[in-house]
Amino acid sequence: MNVNSMDNSTRAQVLVQALPHIKKYYGKTIVVKYGGNAMISEDLKEQVMEDVVLLSMVGIKVVLVHGGGPEMSDLMKRLGKQPQFIDGLRVTDEETVAIAQMVLAGRINKSLVNLLQQKGGSAVGLSGIDGRLIQAEMKDERLGYVGKITHVTPDPVLNLLEGGYIPVISTLGCDDNGNIYNINGDTAAGKIAAAIGAERLIMMTDIPGILQDRNDPDTLLSEITSQEAEAMIQDGSVSGGMIPKVRCCIDSLAEGVSAAVILDGRVPHAVLMEILTNEGAGTMFRREKE
């Protein structure tokens, strides 16, 4: 329904229907892993930022975690450096990790902070290096400075949330020797959500969610347990790039997050639909069916 075509009575009904959901999440924290087409399309980007600001203004604490792989690849090519991948992970030498800092902690992070503030929010950008938020070690020598998370220090995020800010986090990490690592954004979002005791983790993707038949969008599962999701990985129903996203959701539940959702970031205002409507959006992961 187009909000501009609503009469005042319909607008009031929409707000009243959202009230129980606002009460449910008031004062609680959600972590949004922002990526995919919603990060590339300017229209979708604005809508996601509007969703985040609205939720913040009604008393729901929001943490925005972002990557930026396509932008990194674009800058690398412009600098004459060809991106290389092993098993879907970017090979990251010293020059590449410097580019990651420029793109992730610099241009992308600050542009998102600026856009949130244009929409009326109060945001602060930081990377996983700041306050030793994300501590990491080398994941695989073949990949170079690609990090495996060893510890998340929640204080920088909790302090910003307590101060009324929206933390915007780029997924870089560091170790005790000062080495900087590029961190998988999905993994970082799940670990951060667990460390800060988030009520919900939202993973934005470019697919509707988990499909029983991956070739049929009409087979979308609205809800799934961790055990069921693991079984779908084992039988091949979930494969390729969806595996790390699904495992991230499973792991976050095991580490204390109440619920995790994979949703289609191409749908306008998908985050609001997930949090403030009965129907939700995408596929919700639960430890067990209620």
> Of these residues, 33, 45, 139, 191, which one is catalytic?
33
Cα–Cα nearest to 60, from 168, 128, 184, 161: 161
How far apart, in whole angstroms, are the C-alpha atoms of residue 67 and residue 64? 10
Count how many residues are written for the chain: 290
Q: How far is CA 208 from CA 109, 202, 221, 283, in A?
A: 26, 13, 9, 8
How far apart, in whole angstroms, are the C-alpha atoms of residue 285 and residue 93? 36
> Of these residues, 36, 125, 173, 190, which one is catalytic?
36
State the CB neighbour count (10 A cutoff) for residue 100. 29
> Of these residues, 190, 245, 265, 282, which one is catalytic?
245
How far apart, in whole angstroms, are the C-alpha atoms of residue 257 and residue 6? 37
> Of these residues, 186, 265, 280, 282, which one is catalytic?
186
State the CB neighbour count (10 A cutoff) for residue 247. 18
State the CB neighbour count (10 A cutoff) for residue 244. 16
How far apart, in whole angstroms, are the C-alpha atoms of residue 217 and residue 13? 30
Q: Which two tokens stand for residue 81?
A: 């450096």
> Of these residues, 67, 68, 69, 128, which one is catalytic?
69
Question: Which residues touch 282 (CB under 8 Å, ≥6 apart)?
Answer: 208, 209, 220, 261, 262, 263, 264, 270, 274
**Residue 69 is a catalytic residue:** yes
Q: Are 220 and 208 in contact (CB under 8 A)?
A: yes
**Residue 23 is a catalytic residue:** no
**Residue 185 is a catalytic residue:** no
Active site residues: 33, 36, 69, 186, 245
